[in-house]
Amino acid sequence: MQPIKPSQKLTILHYLNNASPESTSEEPSIYRAIGVEPIINCRGTFTIIGGSVERPETLAAYKEASRHFVQYDELAEGVGRRLAEITGAEWGLISDGCAAGLKHVTAACVTGGNPEKLIRIPDLTGFAKTQVIVPGFARNAYDHALRNIGVELVTVDTPAQLAAAINPKTALIYTVTGWRAERDDGLSLQAIVAIARPAGVPVLVDAAAEDLTIPSVHLEAGADVVVYSGGKAICGPQGAGLVLGRKDILMAAWQASSPHHGPNRDNKVGREEIMGMLAAVEAWVIRDHAAEWQVWLDRLALIAQRAEQVAGVETHVEQPVGLNNRAPTLVISWDPAALHITGEEVAEDFARKKPRVAVGNGDSADRAAIRITPSQMQPGNAEVVAERVYRILSEPRSPQPAQLAPVAVEIGGHWEVTLEYFTSTSQHFFYLEQEGNWVQGSHHSDFSRQEIAGTVEGDAVKLRSQVSLPGDNVLFIFSGRVENDAMAGSVFLGEYLTARFTAQRATYRGTRKPVSIPGGPPLAT
């Protein structure tokens, strides 16, 4: 190893050796040390901005656990027993995140704890249990965790369909909590359990974003296993999940998880995360939740008071319904025609300019709004956010141009499009119609066809489409310029980052001539 030259900065180590125990939003941070600007979190426990702030108990347990070694099966036994004592569940398991917990439980129900089956996943050839039944409302991006095991997802929408779908291949039934589960289609957890239990089919509940109830309301309602995110309401490690329920299923789930070799070895959970998560659960049962709630309301009141100093701005606090993402939310609204700015524009400004603040956008047909959730805000954040809100809403602005810029190009027709991803290219097709500034048509991507729409101003084009699958979607926002019969620019892919595109107007080489229709079948071929 070559020694580090004096000119090379050890930025992380320098920060750790010189950091103040209480830093503000303008002081150096471990993230600024590598050129990344931190964010004030007024959105809640979203993974993409870090989930939740870990409890002091979590951090202390994490640090202490790192000082010692332990045999992992013995650790799992001790943790499972302790979680049962705390939560009232039959057993407990700590996984590498909520999705990993779903994956482990699915493997457990597919294999029944048979390691010879386990090491064959995702090839389920010859397996007895290869299907998972899912209510239509429960299809979501996280059911990839189940599909990674190789199972077939069978979607049902009514109790009758659920009963008919259960067969000897059924490994389990998967459902979710929250607003999705509140649909009036008869597939409440209680209704699912009533059908599943006589058939001997386990029921798995995904309660990732919920507050932990003791005992778990879902286990009390008859679910066999419930999985929570460790890095959301419970404020444990972001990379941990909490799995509670039947001991036999959870033991098979532990067998399927790291440190054991097999399909889920990639979901490795460290001893530090395990003990940090256990500490977070212990802390949950003694936390003063009422006092925390009041702190959240006080933060919102401070922000609301400052925002209402801008003429025309109104505020109100929405109280949550249910256990998912349980926190009050401040809604700040105004007439966009009066302040000449929308909630979407405020949220974008906050996201890109310092101090960076993550807020929700709540625009409606006639009111602009932003939404502020206080549960992950830190001391001093409310004052910063209040001033940020006041400044942007009180700033004088001219009305936005009511009309789009004149059109300089016509893009109607058939386009052959090449998308350039990080390490591959794809051929897509546009079939576009243009009426002045407005464009609509069809976008044929790799595996599907969807509507596309957008605008043309001058020679600049913006088009939007979306590939949608059960529980999943891929957004395409094309932004480019047109010159003659060519188009080029960038593609915003939402959470999947960006790509480049080029397009050529399609040309046809066929000869124009009348088409004659034969009077009958050919006499020869």
Domain ranges of the chain: 56-286, 289-394, 413-505
Rounded Cα gap, residues 160 and 524, in angstroms: 56
Cα distances from 297 to residues 7, 57, 358, in angstroms, run: 49, 24, 18
As given in the structure block, the two tokens for residue 330 are 């401040």
Question: What's the pTM?
Answer: 0.91
The string of DSSP letters for 344-413 reads: HHHHHHHHHSSSPEE-EE---SS-EEEEE--TT--TTHHHHHHHHHHHHHHS--PPPPSSPPPB-----E
As given in the structure block, the two tokens for residue 462 are 């913006």
Q: Confirm or reject CATH 2.40.128.120 for domain 413-505, answering yes or no.
A: yes
The string of DSSP letters for 223-248 reads: -SEEEEETTTTT---TT-EEEEE-HH
Residue ranges of the chain with pLDDT lower than 50?
6-7, 23
Place of tokens 């980052």: 497
> What is residue 399's predicted lDDT score, i.e. its pLDDT?
87
Environment class of residue 345 by beta-carbon count within 10 Å: exposed (0-12), middle (13-18) or buried (19+)? Answer: middle
Rounded Cα gap, residues 250 and 268, in angstroms: 16
Cα distances from 272 to residues 88, 126, 228, 358, 511, in angstroms, run: 24, 38, 18, 29, 72
> What is residue 321's predicted lDDT score, i.e. its pLDDT?
86
Rounded Cα gap, residues 24 and 378, in angstroms: 10
**Whether 199 contacts 70, CB under 8 Å:** no
Rounded Cα gap, residues 244 and 263, in angstroms: 21
Architecture of the domain spanning 289-394: Alpha-Beta Complex (3.90)
Rounded Cα gap, residues 25 and 354, in angstroms: 9
> What is residue 180's predicted lDDT score, i.e. its pLDDT?
67
> What is residue 4's predicted lDDT score, i.e. its pLDDT?
52
CATH code, residues 56-286: 3.40.640.10
Task: Report the Cα 218 to chain-centroid distance in Å.
Answer: 23
The string of DSSP letters for 251-315 reads: HHHHHHBTTSSSTBTTS---HHHHHHHHHHHHHHHHS-HHHHHHHHHHHHHHHHHHHTTSTT-EE
Environment class of residue 377 by beta-carbon count within 10 Å: exposed (0-12), middle (13-18) or buried (19+)? Answer: buried
